[in-house]
């Protein structure tokens, strides 16, 4: 799995004469920084004839830098209350595109350091943003070729150590996998192909891969998920799969993370069919499962000590057909909870509920477990918090401040999140309406026009998975945090054409490794 190789460079001064680089990108708010003194005269002369210098991105020929290509990318002011490290990311994305258009294949990057702890990872964020900008869809790479579509093969980063460069490449490998899985069309990345792509990505790594495809086994162990899959079973290549990923550290385990990922490889809406053009882009409804896989690949590369990680991804197609499940059906979850279907387009929570039930059972035998679910679950999350990951936690997670930690680390790494509280109204909303069921999956209106449309699904997940028996006042509390990436899963919120963002991998990694 290729991506721009990252080379650690001791200093800008030492790299100006390096022949392995062919451009210099400068990200700064002030181009008068002392480290830029070798270029001071060039910058002063350029500023006299080009008003863009310091105000907007500019490129010029300069014999003093590698490849004679100099790209100046101002990051703007950072002293407003609402400024954050994404100013670096935005400038980095623009700059690497200009470098690519100029013909550079190995640019050198210098990032102006800041004293504020909010910008402590500015250089890392800039590199990762460049990788995000350079990524091209898997289908295109397989047809046209990676070297043609992604000609930038190396990035040099000033001021970091070789060890940090290796860590950042491990992180980017995971993010790249997540983008490939999330952003690929529904036949190339069907459920079975999703599983095969994971097997290939993790081959020889520190993560063990188990794939369950036997229909009888899935029907027994994942009954809600298989209701979603029911209409897809008539087409063999559309059959579902559960992908289980396991990382065991060397030595003792002090913490266990258990992750559930929604992998809807295509969502037609089922019997509640998506109409009016709203079905386009639904091959990206697997973004949660893709993020879980990407997180696990990053873990495989970073090999953290003391942390065990177990993940389950439900890869399934919500098809429409004569055998499609319909509203009013009452289905029994893996946890033994009777679920009345309110809307077949609320299928992701059914998949997650069974996954969470399996993880709940395992958590009871693990060391200090924490459970997470990641999904492109509701349009309401995108409506409510825009391009941010929405976090909803149960009582035990709130006591540990899991969402708060994730939000703090997300701010530092340019992967921001918003916290939503789980409230009694959410549980009242999904209460049984008759003796025929224990819980209601959903109402029959779009989440985006439903009050608390991204909070009440978390209540359903708690009830349908059996996690309701593990709240803060129960005998065996289990911290659980739900992450809805419907607003953050693609750049610019364009689910049809936007690049998958690999959110919330950075925030989750940073919060995991900082604890």
Structure tokens at 31: 């181009």
Ramachandran region, residue 54 (left: φ > 0; alpha: ψ -120 to 50; beta: rest):
left
Total Cβ atoms within 10 A of residue 378: 27
Q: Residues 262, 286, 317, 349: which is the catalytic one?
A: 349
Closest by CA to 372, choosing from 351, 328, 327, 402, is 402
Q: Are 357 and 334 in contact (CB under 8 A)?
A: yes
Closest CA to 294 of 210, 366, 197: 197
> How many other β-carbons are positioned within 10 Å of the β-carbon of residue 496?
11
User: CB-based contacts of 82: which residues, under 8 Å, 6+ apart?
Assistant: none
Cis check for the bond before 504: say yes or no (omega within 30 of 0): yes
Is residue 331 classed as helix, strand or coil in its secondary structure? strand
Give φ, ψ of 47 to 5 degrees.
Answer: -65, -25
List, in order, residues 6 or more apart from 315 with CB less than 8 Å away.
191, 192, 194, 195, 240, 241, 242, 243, 263, 265, 286, 289
Check if 499 is active-site. Answer: no
* DSSP string over 112-123: ---SSGGGTTHH
**Radius of gyration of the chain from Cα atoms?**
24
Strand partners, 328: none
**Is 424 one of the catalytic residues?**
no
CA-closest candidate to residue 300, choices 202, 162, 380, 393: 202
Helix (H) or strand (E) segment spanning residue 198: helix 191-202
Catalytic-role residue among 154, 188, 274, 423: 274
Sign of the Cα torsion 157, 161, 162, 167 reads: negative
Give buried/exposed letters for 427-466 (b at 16+ CB in 10 A, else e): bebbeeeeeebbbbbbbeebbeebebbbbbbbbbbbbbbb
Question: What span, in angstroms and rounded, lies between the C-alpha atoms of 325 and 317?
Answer: 12
Catalytic residues, by residue number, are: 274, 349
């Amino acid at each position: 799995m290729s991506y721009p190789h990252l080379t650690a460079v001791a200093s800008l001064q030492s790299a100006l004469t390096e022949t392995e680089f062919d451009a210099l990108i400068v990200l700064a708010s002030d181009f008068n920084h002392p480290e830029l003194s070798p270029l001071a005269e060039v910058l002063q002369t350029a500023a006299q004839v080009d008003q863009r210098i310091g105000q907007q991105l500019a490129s010029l020929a300069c014999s003093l830098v590698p490849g004679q290509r100099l790209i100046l990318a101002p990051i703007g002011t950072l002293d407003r209350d609402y400024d954050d490290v994404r100013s670096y990311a935005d400038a980095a994305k623009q700059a690497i595109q200009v470098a690519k258009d100029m013909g550079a294949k190995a640019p050198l990057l210098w990032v102006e350091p800041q004293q504020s702890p909010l910008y402590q990872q500015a250089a890392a964020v800039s590199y990762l943003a460049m990788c995000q900008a350079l990524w091209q869809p898997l289908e295109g790479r397989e047809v046209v070729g990676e070297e043609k579509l992604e000609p930038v093969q190396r990035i040099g980063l000033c001021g970091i150590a070789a060890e940090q460069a290796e860590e950042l490449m491990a992180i980017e490998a995971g993010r790249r996998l997540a983008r490939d899985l999330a952003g690929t069309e529904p036949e190339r990345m069907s459920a079975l192909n999703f599983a095969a792509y994971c097997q290939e990505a993790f081959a020889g790594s520190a993560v063990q891969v188990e794939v369950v495809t036997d229909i009888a086994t899935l029907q027994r162990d994942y009954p809600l998920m298989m209701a979603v899959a029911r209409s897809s079973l008539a087409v063999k290549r559309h059959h579902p799969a559960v992908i289980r990923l396991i990382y065991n550290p060397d030595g003792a385990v002090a913490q266990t993370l258990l992750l559930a990922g929604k992998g809807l490889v295509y969502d037609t809406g089922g019997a509640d069919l998506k109409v009016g053009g709203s079905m386009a882009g639904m091959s990206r409804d697997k973004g949660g499962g893709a993020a879980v896989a990407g997180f696990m690949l990053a873990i495989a590369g970073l090999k953290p000590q003391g942390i065990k990680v177990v993940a389950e991804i439900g890869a399934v197609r919500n098809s429409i057909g004569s055998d499609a499940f319909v509203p009013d059906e009452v289905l029994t979850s893996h946890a033994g909870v009777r679920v009345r279907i309110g809307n077949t387009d609320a299928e992701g929570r059914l998949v997650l509920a069974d996954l969470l039930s399996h993880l709940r059972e395992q958590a009871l035998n693990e060391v200090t477990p924490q459970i997470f679910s990641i999904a492109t679950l509701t349009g309401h999350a995108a409506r409510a918090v825009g391009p941010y990951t929405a976090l909803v936690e149960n009582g035990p997670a709130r006591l540990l401040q899991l969402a708060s930690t994730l939000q703090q680390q997300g701010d530092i790494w340019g992967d921001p999140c918003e916290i939503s509280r789980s409230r009694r109204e959410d549980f009242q909303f999904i209460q049984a309406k008759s003796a025929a069921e224990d819980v209601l999956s959903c109402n029959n209106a779009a989440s985006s026009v439903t009050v608390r449309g991204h909070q009440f699904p978390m209540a359903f997940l708690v009830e349908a998975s059996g996690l309701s028996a593990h709240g803060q006042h129960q005998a065996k509390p289990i911290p659980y945090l739900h992450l809805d990436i419907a607003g953050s899963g693609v750049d610019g919120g364009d689910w049809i054409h936007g690049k998958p963002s690999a959110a919330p991998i950075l925030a989750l990694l940073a919060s995991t490794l900082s604890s």
